[in-house]
Amino acid sequence: MAHTDRVRQILSWYGSDNPGTRANLARLLNHGALAGTGKLVILPVDQGFEHGPARSFQPNPAGYDPDYHVQLAVDAGCNAYAAPLGFIEAVADRYAGEIPLILKVNNSDTLSKGHAPCSAHTSTVDDALRLGCAAIGYTIYPGSSLRNPMYETLRALTHEAKQRGLAVIVWAYPRGEGLTKDGETAVDVTAYAAQIAAQLGAHVVKVKPPKNFIEQAEAKKVFDRYNIPTATLTDRIRHVVQSAFNGKRIVIFSGGEAKGTDEVLAEIREIAAGGAFGSIMGRNAFQRPRAEALKLLSDVMSVYRSAP
């Protein structure tokens, strides 16, 4: 489809990238019910790896089947579907070309404990190309004592992805020895994580909706001195988006833990009002019965469609 003005504007922020990468960014922006709006709703399903199958799929057992998710993403009109290697391989032969695929190239399981948080690097740019993916996804844990090796693996992957014409999506999840539990979703930390991901060369940054809490003493002084508003989620989203190159990098937000439909939609409205580029919604979608999930995703997309 012809690019809308908004898509052109967004692509103009990625002028140092080659046409291949920009075309794949455009594919993400131009697919599904939100095509052309500059907004994205992405279905990610990596919880099987991250939390185990029963926790992830038993609430809606259809989700044990990899076909279920990608078909849900297609039917809901999501912009893209993201998953680890196995789930992508299970469907790419039929769905690559029907919906943009995002290969999540690192993953972390929860069977081993007591380590500094660090995901395993589990698939490659070559895998993404052979599977017809539009982008790779990579998780960093700012705050972990292993952050530097993570950033350095991302450097190599990003370099290769950009050379081969893929887009790069970074899941920025603050976590580890440097942070309190509350600090993981503190507004200053979330904004900092978005900045780090963008500085590392991410095209799309994914963070969690920040809480009204400030972790770092030095940051607290600045928030206080300049009266940076953080009272509402919308305030905080606005700060995070601003922190990602003044809104010149696509920032999307996860839905967080599963919860009630009204709660989800209320949160999305606040997120959208803050200037978010969209949501990445996993458990809240696939753990519901299919009809409910389709309805919810449709409602979420409506919120973004009418956002400023």
Catalytic residues: 206
Q: Which is nearer to its own copies, 147 or 268 (CB)?
A: 147
Q: How far is the CB of 239 from its own copies (least distance, A)?
A: 7
Site residues (CB under 8 A) for its own copies, limited to 154-173: 155, 159, 163-165
Q: Which is nearer to its own copies, 190 or 279 (CB)?
A: 190
Q: Which of 9, 110, 232, 261 binds its own copies (CB under 8 A)?
A: 110
For residue 116, which of 177, 49, 165, 71 has the smallest C-alpha distance? Answer: 177
Q: What angle do CA 27, 139, 162 make, to 5 degrees?
A: 45
Q: Which of 38, 137, 142, 210 binds its own copies (CB under 8 A)?
A: 142
* 273 lies in the binding site for its own copies (CB under 8 A): no
Q: How far is the CB of 196 from its own copies (least distance, A)?
A: 6
Q: Which is nearer to its own copies, 250 or 303 (CB)?
A: 250
Q: Which is nearer to its own copies, 195 or 254 (CB)?
A: 195
Site residues (CB under 8 A) for its own copies, limited to 186-205: 188-189, 191-196, 198-202
* 152 lies in the binding site for its own copies (CB under 8 A): yes
Q: Which of 17, 235, 267, 270 binds its own copies (CB under 8 A)?
A: 17
Q: Which of 39, 147, 208, 283 binds its own copies (CB under 8 A)?
A: 147
CA within 13 Å, CB half, 161:
35
* 211 lies in the binding site for its own copies (CB under 8 A): no
* 89 lies in the binding site for its own copies (CB under 8 A): yes
Q: Which of 39, 208, 236, 239 binds its own copies (CB under 8 A)?
A: 239
* 5 lies in the binding site for its own copies (CB under 8 A): no
Q: Which of 37, 39, 44, 84 binds its own copies (CB under 8 A)?
A: 84
Q: What angle do CA 77, 299, 308 make, to 5 degrees?
A: 95
Q: How far is the CB of 72 from its own copies (least distance, A)?
A: 13
Supply the DSSP string of the chain, one letter for each residue: -PPPHHHHHHHHTTTTS-HHHHHHHHHHHTSSTTTTTT-EEEEE--HHHHH-HHHHHTTSGGGGSHHHHHHHHHHHT-SEEEE-HHHHHTTHHHHTTTS-EEEE-EE--SSS-SS----EE---HHHHHHTT-SEEEEEE-TTSTTHHHHHHHHHHHHHHHHHTT-EEEEEE---STTS-TGGGGBHHHHHHHHHHHHHTT-SEEEEPPPBS----HHHHHHHHHTT---SSHHHHHHHHHHHTTTTTSEEEEE--S---HHHHHHHHHHHHHTT--EEE-SHHHHTS-HHHHHHHHHHHHHHHHT--
* 260 lies in the binding site for its own copies (CB under 8 A): no
* 308 lies in the binding site for its own copies (CB under 8 A): no
* 268 lies in the binding site for its own copies (CB under 8 A): no
Site residues (CB under 8 A) for its own copies, limited to 21-50: 21-27, 30, 48-49
* 77 lies in the binding site for its own copies (CB under 8 A): no
